[in-house]
């Protein structure tokens, strides 16, 4: 069975490449989506990629993943710091949930330093720029046990290192 990954993006991420490039860089969300799709093709997984500025729509997407996705990768953006509704929705989903932040939120100002949504996630990746999405995809597919043999053994996890 092909692994299914839902990738969700929160408010203002549709303005990546324009919005505060000194923090978020010049890569657009469309470019991130294209990179994610290229990696999905190599991994033999399917992705659905979404962006919304509305909290309720993101909650609906998380809920819709139940039974339709094996993992969720989410950059909640500003909702990381405010959304109890996203926390509650994420708690319902039983597969891996990986939170991604383009910037290193731990080095940001007080408003952007503490993600509350990460409490409902399996893992958090921050500060890797757009590459964080790709790292999250690899981690999600590894967590659900579907990394293809074409991926180097070292990326399958510590138990796989040294196996031939």
Task: For residues 110 and 86, give the distance between their C-alpha atoms in angstroms, rounded to a whole number.
Answer: 21
Max Cα separation, the chain? 47
pLDDT reported for residue 112: 67
Mean pLDDT by 10 residues, the chain (164 residues): 95 94 92 98 97 98 97 95 95 97 81 82 96 97 91 72 42
- The residue behind tokens 């290192």 is 161
Domain at 4-160: CATH code: 3.40.50.9100
- Got the DSSP string for the chain? ---EEEEEE-TTGGGTTTS-HHHH-S--HHHHHHHHHHHHHHHT-EEEEEE-S-HHHHHHHHHHTTTT-SEEEEE-GGGGGT-HHHHHHHHH--S-EEEEESS-GGGS-GGGS--SGGGGSSEEEESSTTHHHHHHHHHHHHHTT---TTS-GGGG-GGGTT--
Could you say which of 79, 101, 133, 156 is catalytic? 101
Q: Is 24 a catalytic residue?
A: yes
pLDDT reported for residue 52: 98
Q: Is 101 a catalytic residue?
A: yes
pLDDT reported for residue 136: 98
Partners of residue 50 on adjacent β-strands: 8
Whether 73 contacts 13, CB under 8 Å: no
Could you say which of 24, 79, 133, 156 is catalytic? 24
Residues in the chain: 164
pLDDT reported for residue 20: 86
pLDDT reported for residue 161: 44
- The residue behind tokens 């196996």 is 163
């Amino acid at each position: 069975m092909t692994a299914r990954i839902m990738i969700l993006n929160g408010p203002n991420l549709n303005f990546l490449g324009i919005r505060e490039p000194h923090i978020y860089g010049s890569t657009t969300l469309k470019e991130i989506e294209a990179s994610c799709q290229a990696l999905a093709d190599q991994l033999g997984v399917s992705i659905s990629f979404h962006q919304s500025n509305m909290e309720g729509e993101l909650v609906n997407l998380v809920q819709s993943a139940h039974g339709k996705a094996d993992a969720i990768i989410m950059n909640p953006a500003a909702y990381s710091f405010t959304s109890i509704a996203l926390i509650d929705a994420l708690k319902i989903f039983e597969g891996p949930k990986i939170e991604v932040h383009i910037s290193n939120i731990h080095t940001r100002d007080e408003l952007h330093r503490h993600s509350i949504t990460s409490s409902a996630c399996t893992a958090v990746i921050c500060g890797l720029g757009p590459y964080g999405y790709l790292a999250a995809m690899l981690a999600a597919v590894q967590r659900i046990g579907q990394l293809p043999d074409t991926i180097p053994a070292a990326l399958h996890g510590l138990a796989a290192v040294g196996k031939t």
